[in-house]
Amino acid sequence: MLKDEYERKNDFEKEYNEKILFQDVSFKKYYDYLEVNQCHFKNCSFVDTIFQGIDIDHSMIENSNLSNLTLENHSYQNTEFYNSNLVGISFVDSYLENVTFKDCNLLYANFSNTHLKNVYFDGCNLERTSMNQMKWKNLSFHNCNINQTEFLKTSLKDIDMTTCNITNIKVEPTNLKGIIVNSYQALILSKLLGIRIKDD
Protein backbone atom coordinates (compact mmCIF):
# COMPACT_ATOMS: atom_id res chain seq x y z
CA MET A 1 0.00 0.00 0.00
CA LEU A 2 1.45 3.35 -1.04
CA LYS A 3 0.75 6.83 0.25
CA ASP A 4 -2.11 7.73 -2.09
CA GLU A 5 -3.90 4.46 -1.39
CA TYR A 6 -3.48 4.94 2.35
CA GLU A 7 -4.95 8.42 2.19
CA ARG A 8 -7.85 7.16 0.10
CA LYS A 9 -8.76 4.32 2.45
CA ASN A 10 -7.68 5.96 5.70
CA ASP A 11 -8.09 2.55 7.26
CA PHE A 12 -4.81 1.68 8.99
CA GLU A 13 -6.56 0.05 11.94
CA LYS A 14 -8.31 -2.55 9.78
CA GLU A 15 -5.37 -3.44 7.57
CA TYR A 16 -2.43 -3.72 9.95
CA ASN A 17 -2.54 -7.54 9.92
CA GLU A 18 -1.70 -8.02 6.24
CA LYS A 19 1.42 -7.77 4.09
CA ILE A 20 1.40 -4.04 3.42
CA LEU A 21 4.00 -1.49 2.42
CA PHE A 22 3.40 1.93 3.96
CA GLN A 23 5.68 4.33 2.10
CA ASP A 24 6.05 8.10 2.57
CA VAL A 25 3.19 8.19 5.06
CA SER A 26 2.91 10.59 8.00
CA PHE A 27 0.88 9.13 10.84
CA LYS A 28 -0.60 11.80 13.10
CA LYS A 29 -3.30 10.18 15.12
CA TYR A 30 -4.29 8.51 18.37
CA TYR A 31 -4.49 4.72 18.19
CA ASP A 32 -6.15 2.88 21.05
CA TYR A 33 -4.52 -0.49 20.34
CA LEU A 34 -2.92 -2.12 17.30
CA GLU A 35 -1.47 -5.48 16.40
CA VAL A 36 0.93 -4.89 13.50
CA ASN A 37 1.97 -8.02 11.60
CA GLN A 38 3.93 -8.40 8.34
CA CYS A 39 4.07 -4.68 7.58
CA HIS A 40 6.87 -2.64 6.03
CA PHE A 41 7.10 1.04 6.92
CA LYS A 42 9.46 2.95 4.63
CA ASN A 43 10.18 6.69 4.84
CA CYS A 44 7.33 7.12 7.30
CA SER A 45 6.89 9.60 10.12
CA PHE A 46 5.26 8.83 13.46
CA VAL A 47 5.82 12.27 14.94
CA ASP A 48 2.76 13.41 16.91
CA THR A 49 1.41 9.84 16.87
CA ILE A 50 0.11 8.34 20.12
CA PHE A 51 -0.21 4.58 20.63
CA GLN A 52 -2.14 3.58 23.70
CA GLY A 53 -0.88 0.09 22.95
CA ILE A 54 0.86 -1.65 20.08
CA ASP A 55 2.34 -5.08 19.38
CA ILE A 56 4.58 -5.53 16.32
CA ASP A 57 5.56 -8.85 14.74
CA HIS A 58 7.38 -9.85 11.51
CA SER A 59 7.71 -6.26 10.32
CA MET A 60 10.33 -3.78 9.14
CA ILE A 61 10.65 -0.08 9.89
CA GLU A 62 13.06 1.57 7.45
CA ASN A 63 14.30 5.16 7.05
CA SER A 64 11.51 6.37 9.32
CA ASN A 65 11.08 8.90 12.11
CA LEU A 66 9.88 7.52 15.43
CA SER A 67 11.51 10.16 17.59
CA ASN A 68 10.05 10.61 21.09
CA LEU A 69 7.50 7.85 20.44
CA THR A 70 6.18 5.94 23.45
CA LEU A 71 6.02 2.19 22.80
CA GLU A 72 5.82 1.01 26.38
CA ASN A 73 4.50 -2.16 28.02
CA HIS A 74 3.97 -4.19 24.83
CA SER A 75 5.77 -6.75 22.67
CA TYR A 76 7.93 -6.42 19.57
CA GLN A 77 9.03 -9.62 17.86
CA ASN A 78 10.80 -10.63 14.64
CA THR A 79 11.15 -6.99 13.64
CA GLU A 80 13.94 -4.86 12.16
CA PHE A 81 14.48 -1.15 12.66
CA TYR A 82 16.78 0.08 9.90
CA ASN A 83 18.41 3.49 9.45
CA SER A 84 15.69 5.23 11.45
CA ASN A 85 15.45 8.16 13.84
CA LEU A 86 14.55 6.71 17.24
CA VAL A 87 15.78 9.62 19.36
CA GLY A 88 13.99 9.64 22.70
CA ILE A 89 11.91 6.54 21.95
CA SER A 90 10.68 4.60 24.98
CA PHE A 91 10.33 0.82 25.21
CA VAL A 92 9.94 0.81 29.01
CA ASP A 93 8.42 -2.40 30.45
CA SER A 94 8.26 -4.02 27.00
CA TYR A 95 9.29 -7.41 25.61
CA LEU A 96 11.58 -7.56 22.57
CA GLU A 97 12.46 -10.86 20.88
CA ASN A 98 14.37 -11.38 17.63
CA VAL A 99 14.66 -7.63 17.06
CA THR A 100 17.46 -5.90 15.15
CA PHE A 101 18.37 -2.21 15.29
CA LYS A 102 20.65 -1.40 12.34
CA ASP A 103 22.20 2.06 11.80
CA CYS A 104 19.62 3.75 14.02
CA ASN A 105 19.90 6.88 16.13
CA LEU A 106 18.76 5.91 19.63
CA LEU A 107 20.07 8.95 21.48
CA TYR A 108 18.19 9.32 24.81
CA ALA A 109 16.16 6.14 24.15
CA ASN A 110 14.78 4.26 27.15
CA PHE A 111 14.88 0.47 27.47
CA SER A 112 14.52 0.36 31.24
CA ASN A 113 12.75 -2.67 32.74
CA THR A 114 12.56 -4.37 29.34
CA HIS A 115 12.97 -8.07 28.63
CA LEU A 116 15.22 -8.67 25.62
CA LYS A 117 15.85 -11.96 23.85
CA ASN A 118 17.99 -12.21 20.71
CA VAL A 119 18.28 -8.44 20.30
CA TYR A 120 21.06 -7.02 18.12
CA PHE A 121 22.30 -3.43 17.90
CA ASP A 122 24.54 -2.80 14.88
CA GLY A 123 26.05 0.59 14.03
CA CYS A 124 23.68 2.44 16.34
CA ASN A 125 24.04 5.61 18.36
CA LEU A 126 23.02 4.67 21.90
CA GLU A 127 24.53 7.69 23.61
CA ARG A 128 22.79 8.64 26.87
CA THR A 129 20.36 5.75 26.47
CA SER A 130 18.80 4.19 29.59
CA MET A 131 19.17 0.41 29.82
CA ASN A 132 18.48 0.09 33.50
CA GLN A 133 17.13 -3.05 35.16
CA MET A 134 17.01 -4.96 31.89
CA LYS A 135 16.62 -8.72 31.73
CA TRP A 136 18.19 -10.20 28.62
CA LYS A 137 19.28 -13.34 26.83
CA ASN A 138 21.60 -13.12 23.81
CA LEU A 139 22.10 -9.36 23.62
CA SER A 140 24.67 -8.02 21.11
CA PHE A 141 26.30 -4.67 20.36
CA HIS A 142 28.49 -4.08 17.29
CA ASN A 143 30.10 -0.78 16.28
CA CYS A 144 27.79 1.20 18.56
CA ASN A 145 28.28 4.46 20.41
CA ILE A 146 27.43 3.67 24.04
CA ASN A 147 28.94 6.82 25.51
CA GLN A 148 27.22 7.85 28.79
CA THR A 149 24.69 5.04 28.51
CA GLU A 150 23.20 3.76 31.77
CA PHE A 151 23.20 0.05 32.63
CA LEU A 152 22.22 0.41 36.27
CA LYS A 153 21.11 -2.90 37.81
CA THR A 154 21.76 -4.62 34.47
CA SER A 155 24.32 -7.41 34.19
CA LEU A 156 26.82 -7.10 31.32
CA LYS A 157 28.16 -10.63 31.73
CA ASP A 158 29.33 -12.17 28.43
CA ILE A 159 28.42 -9.08 26.38
CA ASP A 160 31.12 -8.26 23.83
CA MET A 161 31.72 -4.50 23.74
CA THR A 162 35.07 -4.58 21.93
CA THR A 163 33.85 -2.72 18.82
CA CYS A 164 31.92 -0.05 20.74
CA ASN A 165 32.62 3.32 22.30
CA ILE A 166 31.91 2.76 26.00
CA THR A 167 33.33 6.03 27.32
CA ASN A 168 31.63 7.16 30.54
CA ILE A 169 29.10 4.32 30.68
CA LYS A 170 27.26 4.13 33.96
CA VAL A 171 27.15 0.69 35.58
CA GLU A 172 27.71 -0.75 39.04
CA PRO A 173 31.09 -2.48 39.41
CA THR A 174 29.39 -5.75 40.34
CA ASN A 175 27.56 -5.81 36.99
CA LEU A 176 30.82 -5.50 35.04
CA LYS A 177 31.76 -9.06 35.91
CA GLY A 178 32.25 -11.09 32.73
CA ILE A 179 32.00 -8.16 30.27
CA ILE A 180 34.19 -8.62 27.17
CA VAL A 181 36.33 -5.57 26.34
CA ASN A 182 39.64 -4.74 24.69
CA SER A 183 42.71 -3.48 26.56
CA TYR A 184 41.91 0.21 25.99
CA GLN A 185 38.35 -0.24 27.25
CA ALA A 186 39.69 -2.08 30.29
CA LEU A 187 41.57 1.08 31.24
CA ILE A 188 38.35 3.07 30.96
CA LEU A 189 36.44 0.62 33.14
CA SER A 190 39.21 0.48 35.71
CA LYS A 191 38.06 3.89 36.92
CA LEU A 192 34.69 2.42 37.83
CA LEU A 193 36.46 -0.21 39.88
CA GLY A 194 38.56 2.35 41.72
CA ILE A 195 41.77 1.03 40.21
CA ARG A 196 44.68 3.47 40.00
CA ILE A 197 47.19 2.67 37.28
CA LYS A 198 50.75 3.90 37.72
CA ASP A 199 53.38 3.45 35.03
CA ASP A 200 57.07 3.42 35.87
Asked whether the predicted pLDDT for residue 12 surpasses 90, the reply is no
Asked whether the predicted pLDDT for residue 99 surpasses 80, the reply is yes
Lowest mean pLDDT segment, chosen from 107-111, 147-151, 180-184, 187-191: 187-191
Residues 44 and 116 grouped into a single domain: no
Which of residues 80 and 192 earns the better pLDDT score?
80
Residues 86 and 44 grouped into a single domain: no
Segment 18-22 mean pLDDT:
81
For residue 15, what pLDDT band results from cuts at 50, 70 and 90? very low
pLDDT, residue 190, reads 85
Residues whose CB is less than 8 angstroms from the CB of residue 7 and which lie 6 or more positions away in sequence, other chains included: none
The CATH number assigned to the domain holding 105 equals 2.160.20.80
pLDDT, residue 18, reads 65
pLDDT, residue 28, reads 82
Residues 57 and 71 grouped into a single domain: no
Using DSSP, state whether 181 is helix, strand or coil: coil
Asked whether the predicted pLDDT for residue 30 surpasses 70, the reply is yes
pLDDT, residue 3, reads 39
Asked whether the predicted pLDDT for residue 56 surpasses 80, the reply is yes
Q: Please report, rounded to a whole number, the percentage of residues in the chain having pLDDT higher than 90.
A: 68
Residues 80 and 158 grouped into a single domain: yes
Residues whose CB is less than 8 angstroms from the CB of residue 42 and which lie 6 or more positions away in sequence, other chains included: 21, 22, 23, 24, 60, 62, 63, 64
Pick the closest to residue 78 from 98, 61, 101 (CA basis).
Answer: 98
Tell which of 13, 34, 61 closes a domain.
61
For residue 29, what pLDDT band results from cuts at 50, 70 and 90? confident
Q: What is the residue range of 3's domain?
A: 1-61
Residues 44 and 127 grouped into a single domain: no
Answer whether 82's CB lies under 8 Å from 60's CB: yes
The sign of the torsion formed by the CA atoms of 178, 180, 182, 185 equals: negative
For residue 191, what pLDDT band results from cuts at 50, 70 and 90? confident
Domain count, the chain: 2
pLDDT tens digits, 101-151: 999 999 999 999 999 999 999 999 999 999 999 999 999 999 999 999 999
Residues 52 and 1 grouped into a single domain: yes
Residues 121 and 26 grouped into a single domain: no
Residues 56 and 72 grouped into a single domain: no
Residues 8 and 102 grouped into a single domain: no
Tell which of 21, 45, 61 closes a domain.
61
Residues 132 and 174 grouped into a single domain: yes
Residues whose CB is less than 8 angstroms from the CB of residue 100 and which lie 6 or more positions away in sequence, other chains included: 79, 80, 81, 82, 119, 120, 122
Tell which of 10, 28, 61 closes a domain.
61
pLDDT, residue 200, reads 61
Residues 76 and 54 grouped into a single domain: no
Asked whether the predicted pLDDT for residue 165 surpasses 70, the reply is yes
Residues 120 and 182 grouped into a single domain: yes
